[in-house]
Amino acid sequence: MLVTLWFYTRKTRPAPRALWAFFLAAMILPAIPLAQKIISGEVQGRFNEVSITAPEYLQSVGKADSPKDLLQIFAGNYFLHLSPEFLFFKGDPSLVHSTGHFGLLSWLDMLGLVFLILLAVMAFIKKPADAHLWKTDRIFLLFISANVLLGIVPSAMTNAELPNSLRIIASWPFVFLLTGYGIWRMSLRLPLVVPMSCVLAATVFAAVFLKVYFYQYPNESAGMFSVWTKVEAEHIKDDQGWLEFLYHYRNDDYHSRYYLMNYHGDTCRESKNIWDNLKKAWISLGVN
């Protein structure tokens, strides 16, 4: 993406070399600790598990680590993220990442895409009012489109929970730029586009989405979010019950402190003190 930014900047407003030097330094220096952890393998464990090059995965799908097989797997994974079901209808198949009732693109984003298609058709037939579109904004559109497509690459290199909305998160700023561009460009021709888009986004889509999110989604996704832990916490009657609960989740401080605050009535500081004291006691007793 930085390479595309360099090309885009050169084509639109060339920057002095000194400015690029500062920019690269600002990008590289904070990333050095991350690079060290990647090189050492400290943060590569998860990726090694879900990578398309993982030997266990390749064996399970009857593929080898040849360039041809890896490219086939990569291409199949990549185009899963461009499927209509993923983008427009169901979204991410994991209920941890999606409600399962809407595509990744909101209705407002879909409207922006429709406007882009209409603008492209009008530019293609060379109406005078639209022919300049690709002359003035071609570089910008190529820049954001390229980065939408580049942002899918990390997810396509994995083998689990695909298509995956979180692993293509780098695409989303550019998706918003692309769909927003379509709405803005069409609004220059039809001023009513702006209020129509606001109504669609803030009223119609929001009402439908929020109803699903607060009423249907919690029941449908309950098993994905430790619902049984919540039920367990709700049924604790006394301090002995809380001690047993905290001991059971002794390796998950976020479990313990969250439930202490929400179901035992402790403040954030009080939950931390309880947790810290119990950890010290367990360590003194040799409990791992």
Could you read off the pLDDT of 170-222 as tens digits, one per residue?
A: 999 999 999 999 999 899 888 899 898 888 888 899 999 999 999 999 889 88
What pLDDT, in 10s, does the model give residues 96-141? 899 999 999 999 999 999 999 988 888 777 665 555 566 678 889 9
pLDDT of 223 strictly over 80:
no
Per-residue pLDDT, averaged over 55-63, amounts to 91
What pLDDT, in 10s, does the model give residues 141-161? 999 999 999 999 999 999 988
**Res 9: pLDDT:** 86
Report how far apart, in Å, the C-alpha atoms of 248 and of each of 183, 229, 269 are: 53, 11, 21
Q: How far apart are CA 49 and CA 43, in angstroms?
A: 12
Better-predicted residue by pLDDT, 230 or 33: 33
pTM to 2 decimals?
Answer: 0.78
Buried b (16+ CB within 10 A) or exposed e, 222-252: eeeeeeebeebbeebeeeeebeebbeebbee
CB 143, CB 16: distance < 8 Å = no
Q: Mean pLDDT for the chain? A: 88
